[in-house]
Amino acid sequence: MTDRHTVSRRRFLAAGSGIAAALATPTLAQAATPLQIAGPGRPLPPLAGRSTQTLLGRGKARRAVICGGGWGGITAAKYLRQQVPHLEVVLLERNAVFFSCPMSNKWLVDVVDTQYLTKDYLKISEELGYRFIQTEILEIERDTKRVVTAAGAIDYDYLILSPGIRYNYEAWFGNDLRAAEATRARFPAAYIPSAEHFRLKQAIHDFKGGDLVMTLPPPPQRCPPSPYERACLIASLFKAKKLNARVVILDHKPDVMPIGPGFKAAFQELYKDIVTYVPNAHVKEVDPFNKRIKTAAGDFSFDHAILMAPHQAGDLAWKAGVVGQSFQGGPDGWAAVDPLFLHAEDDKDVYVIGDAVGYVSPQFSFYPKAGHVANQHARIVAHYIAEREADREPGYRLPDNLCFMMVSTQPQEAISVKFDYKVNAMGIIEQTQIDFNERKPETVGEDFEWARGIYEDMFG
Binding site for ligand FAD (CB under 6 A): 68-73, 92-95, 101-102, 104-105, 136-137, 162-164, 191-193, 222-223, 226, 314-316, 354-356, 369-372, 374, 403
Residue whose beta carbon is closest to ligand FAD: 70
Closer to ligand FAD by Cβ: residue 297 or 420? 420
Nearest-angstrom CA–CA distance, 140 and 425: 37
Nearest-angstrom CA–CA distance, 155 and 102: 32
Closer to ligand FAD by Cβ: residue 10 or 50? 50
Closer to ligand FAD by Cβ: residue 105 or 408? 105
Closer to ligand FAD by Cβ: residue 93 or 110? 93
Q: Which parts of 296-355 are beta strand (E)? A: 298-301, 304-307, 311-313, 323-325, 331-335, 343-344, 347-352
What residue type is assigned to position 306 of the chain? I
Cα 112 to chain centroid, rounded: 18
Q: How far is CA 243 from CA 10, 13, 249, 292, in A?
A: 20, 22, 18, 22
Nearest-angstrom CA–CA distance, 208 and 114: 24
Closer to ligand FAD by Cβ: residue 64 or 290? 64
Closer to ligand FAD by Cβ: residue 174 or 460? 460
- E strand or H helix at 112: none
DSSP letter string, 201-246: HHHHHH--SEEEEEEEPPSS-BSTTHHHHHHHHHHHHHHHTT--EE
Minimum distance, C-beta of residue 317 to ligand FAD, in the bound complex (Å): 9
Cα 260 to chain centroid, rounded: 22
Nearest-angstrom CA–CA distance, 205 and 223: 24
**Is the CB of residue 393 less than 8 Å from the CB of residue 384?**
no
Closer to ligand FAD by Cβ: residue 288 or 371? 371
Minimum distance, C-beta of residue 329 to ligand FAD, in the bound complex (Å): 27
Q: Are strands 347-352 and 158-161 parallel, antiparallel or unpaired?
A: parallel
Closer to ligand FAD by Cβ: residue 67 or 286? 67
Radius of gyration of the chain (CA): 22
**Is the CB of residue 357 less than 8 Å from the CB of residue 335?**
yes
DSSP letter string, 398-447: ---EEEEEEEEETTEEEEEEEEEEEE-TTS-EEEEEEEEEEEEHHHHHHH
Minimum distance, C-beta of residue 119 to ligand FAD, in the bound complex (Å): 11
Minimum distance, C-beta of residue 292 to ligand FAD, in the bound complex (Å): 25
Minimum distance, C-beta of residue 358 to ligand FAD, in the bound complex (Å): 12
Closer to ligand FAD by Cβ: residue 193 or 333? 193
- E strand or H helix at 99: strand 97-99
Nearest Cα neighbor of 225 from 440, 405, 435, 450 is 405
Closer to ligand FAD by Cβ: residue 119 or 388? 119
* Residue 47 DSSP class: P
Minimum distance, C-beta of residue 299 to ligand FAD, in the bound complex (Å): 27
